[in-house]
Amino acid sequence: MIHPIDIILAKRDGYELTTEQIQHLVRTVVLYGEQQLAAQRGETLQPLAATDRITEGQLGSFLMAVFQRGLSLRETADLTTAMRYSGETFHTKPLKTFSVDKHSTGGVGDKTSLLIAPIVAAAGLEGTPSISVPMISGRALGHTGGTLDKLETIPGFDTQLSLPQMMEVLRECHAVLVGQTPRLVPADRILYAMRDHTGTVESQFLICASIMSKKLAEDLDGLVLDVKVGSGAFMPTYAQSKSLAELMVSTGERSGTRTAALLTTMDEPLGRFSGNWLEVWECVDILQGKRHAMSADLIALSNALSGWMLYLAGKSASPEAGAQLADELLLSGAAYKSWLQIVAAHGGDTSIFANPAAFHKSTAQRVFSASRDGYLTSMDCKEVGWAVQRLGAGRTKPGAPISPHAGIESHAKLGDRLSPGQPIFTLYVEDESLLDEPYRMLQAAVTIGDIKPNPKPLIREVITGDNRR
């Protein structure tokens, strides 16, 4: 008999868990989620056996034990597999397309999924091979934003589709963007939300299991990972980000999915806006062909990641040629056409894209400006991310609502020359009482100095199964 408490004690004391213990733990997580949902509906399910019952406290405790003790390669693989099969999985093979996806380890203003899905879907519409992008994303996690929260700011957009609905959208639009549901990777749905409020996000083992369980449940032929490095990354050092990238690439390759990881710089918010609706607005502008100078890094990274996806799918001779194709699809309006189709298929109201600025409904704003002249030398990007969350863009507890229109606008990038009083950020809120703390956090996060910093390249290194490149 396996009891959850014995698994917690074993991990707390530094023992390697058996495959059975891990499978059992994941089963209890799913049962916990079912009980929670039933309680929300006012129903009572059959009481669980003591061995199957895990409490919220025990879940937090298990996560903290893993966070502190780590997992072996075998334990990580077991956790990933148990989470992958914790519910239903996609079967994309009947579509006879190359199924490919991208996932990021999480960043600030990191909204590339909103551009990549329509870019690659647009490429998949023409010629062979046909491509599909079955994207399972997440919500805000720690200091980072989440694709689902962003998409759900579009009135009507449903991220909780059933499997048959997902397949229908995928068949029609070549891309679908959904979340973990009580039926699709339900274990990640619970653990992800629990990690967000128990200080257990920044574990390479938990990140690997969370990301790879979702991605492998998509039945992918190819996967591109955007693994962040720098002050806004979950992993505190370059070496740890690289080790996470290698762990995920080998997990993907061992499961038969061609996997590439790009180590990319996250030392400042990506693009112009950080915050849920604000990020959708920025992407709609780009999809409509408007290129704000602050969005240049976002466009470059989205094209590079799309380029790798198109290369893995056999649509381009190299990732660089793929990036070029991605840019052409953006500029020609083909990606925007795909975006409109995808949003409509999810029930979203596309009429708001006619004037995205008019849909932005913050009720108060404050400008944070340079206190002196000099160069924007460095930023504690994680702290900037927390400031965005505290403006209301993130959750205070699992399931709590987010503020769609809260966030920041960046007016300067690292290395820019600033004069006193020049705006660096505009803060937007829907609740004015939330402005003060994030404002102080931003003040502490930004350094202005006399020496121009050397810009770091956006893409630092690429890791593939055979490290060909």
CB of 207 or CB of 326, closer to ligand URA? 207
CB of 101 or CB of 221, closer to ligand URA? 101
SS3 85: coil
Strand positions, DSSP E, 87-234: 98-104, 131-137, 175-179, 222-229
CB of 207 or CB of 249, closer to ligand URA? 207
Q: Is 138 in the site for ligand URA (CB under 6 A)?
A: yes
- Region from 9-17, 29-37, 122-130, 205-213 binding ligand URA, contact rule CB under 6 A: 205-213
CB of 211 or CB of 325, closer to ligand URA? 211
- Measured CA to CA, the distance from residue 149 to residue 151 in angstroms comes to 6
Angle at 64 between CA 36 and CA 49, to 5 degrees: 40
How long, in residues, is the chain? 469
Task: Say which of 69, 103, 189, 272 is annotated catalytic.
Answer: 103
210 given a catalytic annotation: yes
Structural contact between residues 136 and 179, judged by C-beta atoms closer than 8 angstroms: yes
Q: Is 207 in the site for ligand URA (CB under 6 A)?
A: yes
Q: Is 107 in the site for ligand URA (CB under 6 A)?
A: no
CB of 243 or CB of 422, closer to ligand URA? 243
* Cα–Cα nearest to 183, from 153, 208, 217, 149: 217
Q: Is 210 in the site for ligand URA (CB under 6 A)?
A: yes
Structural contact between residues 118 and 330, judged by C-beta atoms closer than 8 angstroms: no
103 given a catalytic annotation: yes
Shortest reach from residue 105's CB to ligand URA, in Å: 5
- Measured CA to CA, the distance from residue 259 to residue 102 in angstroms comes to 10
Of positions 115, 141, 299, 391, contacts ligand URA by CB under 6 A: 141
SS3 466: coil
Structural contact between residues 72 and 16, judged by C-beta atoms closer than 8 angstroms: yes
CB of 105 or CB of 153, closer to ligand URA? 105
Helix axes 73-84, 238-254, angle to 10 degrees: 60
129-to-99, 312, 321 alpha-carbon distances in Å: 10, 11, 16
382 given a catalytic annotation: no
Q: Is 105 in the site for ligand URA (CB under 6 A)?
A: yes
Shortest reach from residue 103's CB to ligand URA, in Å: 6
Element (H, E) at 263: strand 258-265
- Region from 56-64, 161-169, 204-212, 362-370 binding ligand URA, contact rule CB under 6 A: 204-212
Cis, peptide link before residue 94, omega less than 30° from 0:
no
436 given a catalytic annotation: no
Of positions 22, 65, 95, 211, contacts ligand URA by CB under 6 A: 211
Q: Mark residue 275 as left, alpha or beta (left: phi above 0; alpha: psi -120 to 50; beta: remaining).
A: left
Shortest reach from residue 362's CB to ligand URA, in Å: 27
How far is CA 255 from its chain centroid? 22
Task: Say which of 195, 215, 360, 382 is annotated catalytic.
Answer: 195
315 given a catalytic annotation: no
- Region from 168-176, 208-216, 318-326, 443-451 binding ligand URA, contact rule CB under 6 A: 208-216
- Region from 82-90, 207-215, 403-411, 440-448 binding ligand URA, contact rule CB under 6 A: 207-215
What residues contact residue 20 under an 8 Å CB cut-off, 6+ apart? 2
Q: Give the total of residues touching ligand URA (CB under 6 A).
A: 8
- Which residues of this chain interact with ligand URA, rule CB under 6 A? 105-106, 138, 141, 207, 210-211, 214
Catalytic positions are 103, 188, 195, 210, 214
